[in-house]
Structure 1
Amino acid sequence: MSDRELAEFLERQGITDARVLEAIRSLRRADFIPEDLRDLAGQDSPLPIGHGQTISQPFIVAYMTQALALQPGERVLEIGTGSGYQAAVLARLGVEVYTVEVLPELAWPARELLERLGMGNIHFRVGDGSAGWPEEAPFDAILGTAAPERLPPALYEQLRPGGRLLLPVGAHGGHQELIRVTKPLEGGAPQVEALLAVRFVPMTSSPPESLPH
């Protein structure tokens, strides 16, 4: 499938947000995939990108983006830059993206690609995703593309009141669920929703290191 056909396929699968579909349509997924796998870019499936990591299935990328109900100008923290595809979809929605990747071997090529595509509304950091990016908090939304076994408290703390956190949670190789946590506007318990059974690579950690600006 071409990227236009991919967007049409996702619409048939229940993605209804026109802005998300246009973001998918406007990007070449093949740009974010190793050269020897680019003929598979139009498939609705995850693909390896090296270092034990994957680019997510397009449906999951679209579903997660839609589930955050983002508005232009919002500040979004992404945990797990990977190839940069999810960050690119977010950026196409007119939000300010702060993306953290634990593996420099992935972070540097992703940054180079996204800057080459002219996406100046994406900010990069190499480090422990579970720690978030406290210097830039609070965020309107946080999205994780790797699964911790339980919700990292630092991420919830970095949400503004009314903010949304979307994260796959569960053991690697076991049951994982995509959860959406909404922080109350005032004191009280967060709203927690289980949205979908998923399978993501595990969230790993290392000491933080900011990429130079």
Structure 2
Amino acid sequence: MALPMNSQVDPRDVHAQARFNMIEQQIRPWNVLDEEVLELLGQVRREDFVPPEYVNMAYMDIEIPLLGSPEEAAAKGWHMLAPRIEARMLQDLAVKPGDRVLEIGSGSGYMAALLAARAKEVVTLEIVPELAEMARENLLGAGVKNAEVQLADGASAAAALGQFDVIVLSGSVAKVPDALVDLLRDGGRLGAIVGQLPVMRFTVAEKKGHQVQVRQPWDTLASRLENFEEPSRFSF
């Protein structure tokens, strides 16, 4: 039946349907089966964390640019990770209600909002001033009160922040940063996308007493986080 000519589709209903489709068509098939994580993804409005010009792409399986041209955003890592990547990271790190969480790479604040919904406290560091301000505004607009955005270099500033139960790197690094592992409490987990093109793996380092257990449950690719150590390059 045709809609009356003066009827309008409520944009919130459109986004709700897109959110549902994202969960069922992108995220469940990617082995994200934790019902609490899936429920959370249905509650947090991703469209509130993307630039207005990309709001209709909020639930697509893509990396959404946050600053500059799409080409510049891709080159500099100024974009959101694809939703299925964020969801799988959230599931594999098993954030608990009492956890203190550190995120490096705030971006638009979306991952911090997801983390904050499960944790006691989130500190998220962003090196790009415009992105730090964007994340603050988005989190404030979403009513998230237990996530703090700091303008800081996550490669060097984290040591002054104390210890954490979970550390999330929302970007890639060449290797798991030992300095960040040192900030984990006993039982704490660090998650990062580790490696070099064309092969990177999501890596979980879990501290158990004086030992660190490492697992790499899945492969993906992501732009580099700034200022973390890269392997030496030999020239002949």
Equivalent residues of 1:131, 1:155 under 8 A apart: no
Q: Provide the residue aligned with 2:123 in structure 1.
A: 98
Give how far 1:11 is off: 2.6
Matches within 5 A, 1:191-206: 191-205=213-227
Question: Are residue 48 (structure 1) and residue 71 (structure 2) matched?
Answer: no
Letter in 2 for 1:2: A
Deviation of 1:96 after TM superposition, in Å, equals: 1.2
Per the TM alignment, residue 49 of structure 1 is displaced from its structure 2 partner at its CA by: 1.3
**Identity in percent:** 34
Report which of the two structures shows the higher radius of gyration computed on alpha carbons.
2
Determine the C-alpha separation between the residues in 2 that align with 1:64 and 1:201: 16
Distance 1:187 1:14 in 2: 31
- Counterpart of 2:3 in structure 1 is none
- Provide the secondary structure at the position in 2 that maps to 1:115: helix
SS of the aligned residue for 1:112 comes to helix
- The count of aligned residue pairs is 203
- Deviations for 1:16-62, whole angstroms, at most 9, x for unmatched residues? 11221122111221221122221111212222112521111111111
Deviation of the 1:198 alpha carbon = 1.3
Paired residue for 1:59? Answer: 84
TM-aligned CA distance change 1:94 to 1:151, over 3 Å: closer
Q: Tell me the equivalent position of 2:23.
A: 7
Aligned to 1:178: 202
Whether the 8 Å CA contact 1:101–1:128 is kept in 2: the answer is yes
The residue matched to 1:179 in structure 2 has which SS?
Answer: strand
TM-score by length of 2: 0.80
Equivalent AA in structure 2 for residue 19 of structure 1: E
Q: Which residue of 2 aligns with 1:109?
A: 134
1:128 aligned residue: 153
Structure 1 partner of 2:4: none
| Cα shift at 1:132 | 5.2
Distance 1:123 1:167 in 2: 20
Name which of structure 1's ranges 26-35 and 76-85 shifts more when overlaid on structure 2: 26-35
Q: Which runs of 5+ in 2 are unaligned?
A: 1-16, 229-236
Output the TM-score relative to the length of structure 1: 0.88
Structure 1 residues 200 and 13: alpha-carbon distance in aligned structure 2, compared to 1, 3 A threshold: closer
Q: Does 1:187 align with 2:210?
A: yes
Structure 2 residue corresponding to 1:73, chosen from 90, 98, 105: 98
